[in-house]
Amino acid sequence: MPRFAYHQFLYGSDNYGVLVHDPETQQTAAIDAGDAGRYRQALDEKGWQLSHILITHHHGDHTEGLEELAAQTGAHVYGPAGNNAGHAHIMTRVSDGDEIAFAGEQIKVLHTPGHTLDMLNFHLPTESVCFTGDTLFSLGCGRVFEGDFGMMWNSLSKLMALPSDTIIYSSHEYTEANARFALSVDPENQKLKNRAAEIDSKRRQGQPTVPSLLSEEMATNPFLRASDSGIRAHLGMQGATDAEVFAEIRTRKDNF
């Protein structure tokens, strides 16, 4: 049974913000802070006071509201080290293996570089929840801007090693387009076909497709399935390494 309450809301064109709240201690953590107004609105709707802000990476759509939100709420800001504008208001810089105390639990920090070099993901083992930022999406993964494909594959492999019942909160509603691409590289996967149909139906009703379960991603997300014989056969890459297959899938997505 999860102890915390979760509130996910949209901001910008397709970003998801999340609030995590502990009814016992009344502590509340925000994942990222791309839009101070939307985060404040979400806090007001729930009647929650913000105590923690956890920044995944420096991109503006995750950090532009940080200064204002931190000033308005007095929340303590945790995030990656770095010299970009998005790192400016981080109070405690954390890195791989660190733990952040929240409501009597420990949030584990995972460094998952690739999309950006500073990318952090936040894992709550006691809740079976992981906030994967722009590293792992529902049926997708982040575009590799600052790192390289090998680095991104290592980062995704770290997430794949989490328990399969981990609930994956990612930062964007990209799933419908991701499903179209996934079917192009894994066309015989019946679980993927079923999931794509569910996603279409959810989106038609305006419902979110985030969060998802890691086990669902392992069965249907092509970026986690570099070792799958069906995908390898489809790509003609039976003898390649997993990292090479991943690089080919990521390159195809960039050009899709």
Dist. CA 50–CA 170, nearest whole Å:
20
Separation between Cα atoms, residue 43 and residue 53, nearest integer Å = 13
Q: Does the footprint of Fe ion cover residue 172 (CB under 5 A)?
A: no
87 forms part of the interface with Fe ion (CB under 5 A)? no
Question: Is 171 or 221 the residue whose CB approaches Fe ion more closely?
Answer: 171
**Does 134 sit near Fe ion (CB under 5 A)?**
yes
Window 93 to 132, contacts with Fe ion (CB under 5 A)? none
Q: Environment class of residue 117 by beta-carbon count within 10 Å: exposed (0-12), middle (13-18) or buried (19+)?
A: middle
* Contact string (CB under 5 A) for Fe ion, positions 42-61, x = contact: -----------------x--
Q: In the complex with Fe ion, which residue's Cβ is closer, 59 or 123?
A: 59
Cβ density class 161-190: b for 16+ within 10 Å, e for less:
ebeeebbbbbbbbbbbebbebbbebbeebe
What are the phi and psi torsion angles at 156 (to 5°)?
-65, -35
Please report how close the Cβ of residue 134 comes to Fe ion at its closest, in angstroms.
4
Q: How far is the CB of 59 from Fe ion (least distance, A)?
A: 4
Structure tokens at 104: 């009597």
In angstroms, what is the minimal distance from the CB of 236 to Fe ion? 32
Q: Residue 59 or residue 87: which is nearer to Fe ion going by CB?
A: 59
Least separation in angstroms between residue 241's CB and Fe ion is 27
No. of H helices and E strands in the chain? 9, 14
Q: How far is the CB of 207 from Fe ion (least distance, A)?
A: 24
Total binding residues for Fe ion by CB under 5 A? Answer: 2
Residue whose C-alpha is closest to residue 175's, from 145, 211, 228, 224 = 211
**Contact residues: Fe ion, CB under 5 A:** 59, 134
